[in-house]
Structure 1
Amino acid sequence: MSTLQGLGFNDETARALVDKATAAAALATAIAARRAAYVSEADPMYLEWQYDGTVEKEKEWRAKVAEIKARFPLPEDK
């Protein structure tokens, strides 16, 4: 933050910029974690459901998606 102040930003503006950048980084991290989990865990289950076409496979896939969302909540979901 002292770098921002050195560039002429006042304390309030510098804090707001840091907070905004921190929030954006947290959101990007959560989205990336979800994406990786979907690809490795949920997507194969989705393909099984599409192949089998059973209600049970659909429920398993939807439960996995919900579990991933709970494991990696978006910052505004907290």
Structure 2
Amino acid sequence: MSTPLYRDPNASVEERVEDLLALMTLDEKLAQLSCLWSTAFVSTGSFDPNTVIEKMPHGIGQVTRIGASTGLHP
């Protein structure tokens, strides 16, 4: 199995971007436009990976306010 072009550091940025966009589904591209507060992933005072999978099955563009809104330590 060959490595996708977008992961090849020797390829140009343009080639890598074109390859990655060609491989992404429409749902994955749309997910890049979304942003969720980090509190959406906290359950009973701790980070909940199952909630992440449920809330962003196609990826996400940005998670914001990680330290300020949850009070969780890094």
Bin of the TM-score, shorter chain as denominator length:
under 0.3
Q: TM-score, normalised by structure 1?
A: 0.27
Higher RCO by CA contacts (8 Å cutoff, separation 6 or greater): 1
Bigger Rg over Cα:
1
Q: Which structure dedicates a bigger proportion of its chain to helix?
A: 1
Q: TM-score, normalised by structure 2?
A: 0.27
Q: Which structure dedicates a bigger proportion of its chain to strand?
A: 2
